[in-house]
Amino acid sequence: MQVFLVCVCLTGLVLAIPHNFELPKLKDDGVHWALLVAGSNGWMNYRHQADVCHAYQVLKNHGLPDERIIVMMVDDIANNEENPQPGVIINQPDGPDVYQGVPKDYTGLRDVTPDVFLDVLQGESKKVKGKGSGKVINSGPNDHIFVNFVDHGAPNLIAFGQKFLHSKDLMKVLKEMHQEQKFAKLVFYLESCESGSMFKTLLPKDINILALSASNSSQSSYACYFDKKRKTYLGDVFSVMWLQDSDKENLNSETIQDQFKITKKKTNTSHVMEFGDKSIGKMTVAEFQGNQQANNIVFPAPDPTIDAVKAEDVEMEVLRNLWLLSTDEVEKDQLMSQLSGLALKRSKIDKLVKEIISKTVDHDHQIVTSIMEDNVDLYNHDCYIQTVEYLRDTCHDLDLPNFQYSLRRLYAFVNLCERNKYSFATIKSAIDKTSKYKKRKMNQTKSHIPHYIHGTKSSHAKSSKTTDTTSKLTRPKSTTYGFNGRKRSTEEEDQKEDRKNEQSEITRLKTLTGKQKERIASLEALSGKENVLKDEIKTLEDRLQETDEKMEYYEKQLLLCNINPVSLESFHPLQETKGALLEIGNRTKVEVNKLKESIGEMNNKTKQVLIDLKTIGDELDNICPEDEMVPS
């Protein structure tokens, strides 16, 4: 007995009550159903499938049979080539394998979609025939349903695989299920950024549904537990908190409200919210997650908020952590290059969104500023749904729904739609104009200047020129009419008239060519000036990026000083003191501000050059349409 107690003390493990202990079943012979979903894919999203696999283990350990647990996940993590332990998924540092035994009901991008999810939830077995296991929530009026969904999100949507699950569509299905008496009570746990927006203005309080969200309607959710070996994050703060609570608590005595309060208090990274019928909170957790006492060993886990990061910053933080851990200079350079590329991509997305908004509101600076800063609730769902779907399909620079940073910028389109002044048609036009403008800007040296400065024309332009010149200089032999429509009596007169017209056309083109040369010289000068400015801006941006990274680096060192001064000795070979780090940090901030001011000035100069280029290009087009231009 003493040996047994010593083992328990040394390992810090908690033994649960024997597995054969079970409280009475649900009232009126109702049963439990559960639908667990991880909508994302890719190694960087490891944590989402880890959360869902852990949720399965919780339900299984508390007595829910596999036939009433449905799992949807792409299943590309456990045996991913990046996985140092093939076939194993963990949800906390040095934690147990949560992948073992998890049903593979719906896997792959083809079956893990919003439509399949909604069909499975409603029990539409015919609609999912031939997909996955074919299992659906075949619940009745006395049953309880537990839904756990983990994914990326944005205002009023979940970025479900390659598509969007919109709050309006989800709510329509939940209301129909209530009307059709497909459950007695339903509890929905949602982990995603801005997850509160899925329920805030839409979920009624009288349809027997309680929803808990990882964040409010405008916040990020947070990833946690960076793993050096796996080079990614293992969990999400909200999910890890409620899962670890369910692992160790007696669910037959703990209420949903108890679990909500515990999770809300411990999740200090975002505001955990509850919506809908809050009276369900008085019911026990066991009534949704299983009423059999778990017979599992609970492993102690570190606080998940210590290294928590916003979901949209995960990729950036992974690269930064790898850079800090690396001792290979070549590898560090590669990681820094990836960081710079990612930062540049984020900057371009910010500018792109602002540009679309600006074009929509006719470049009204005050309105643009308001839209970019506001965070309002969504009511005009049709406008917003059409807009984000169109952005996903046509605006590929945003990389929707894969790039979380872009998802976090969709709030601006909620603000835009809620002004009720700008229709989808207006917004669509702005998106189209922005896309065309970007293409024109990227190919600027191939439109007005292009074919002359580089001495070539596109094949289409050459063909056009040849065709048009021929039509003006040579009259088809088959006709008996001249250019002025007057009939010719002999072939000799026809030839004479042709030569006269040819000479006149050549004189005209020579005159235009002179004007072209003047404009081309101006274009070449401006183009050279633009290139110089771009080079200067690029140099400044590189310096800014380098300085930003330097500042981040010193801030991390300073943070280590604040946490544990001794750790600095082993972490940083230079062993700067806290005072020195503060001084360096302040100098770096001043340098960053100066660089930003310089870049702003350069951008203004470049904008003016672009305006001049366009003006002269338009003049050139007016002097000589493209189909009449000749090489200088």
Catalytic positions: 152, 193
Burial 420-439 (b: 16+ CB within 10 A, else e): eebebebbbebbeebbeebe
Residues 6+ apart with CB under 8 A from 402: 42, 159
Residue 136: C-alpha distances to residues 70, 115, 130, 145 (Å) = 7, 13, 13, 12
CA dihedral over 282, 283, 288, 292, signed as positive or negative? positive
The H or E element that residue 557 is part of is: helix 491-563
Inter-residue contact 439 to 472 (CB < 8 Å) = no
Q: How many CB atoms lie within 10 A of CB 471?
A: 10
> What 8-state DSSP symbol labels residue 297?
P
Residue 360 corresponds to which tokens in the numbers above?
């929509």
The length of the chain is 632
* Three-state DSSP class for residue 130: coil
Token pair listed for 467:
């065709």
Q: Nearest to residue 293, comparing CAs of 329, 247, 259? A: 247
> Tokens for 395?
């605006």
Angstrom distance (rounded) from CA 64 to CA 118: 22
Query: What is the distance, to the nearest Å, from the Cα of residue 273 to the centroid of all Cα atoms in its chain?
Result: 22
Ramachandran angles phi, psi of 84, nearest 5°: -70, -15
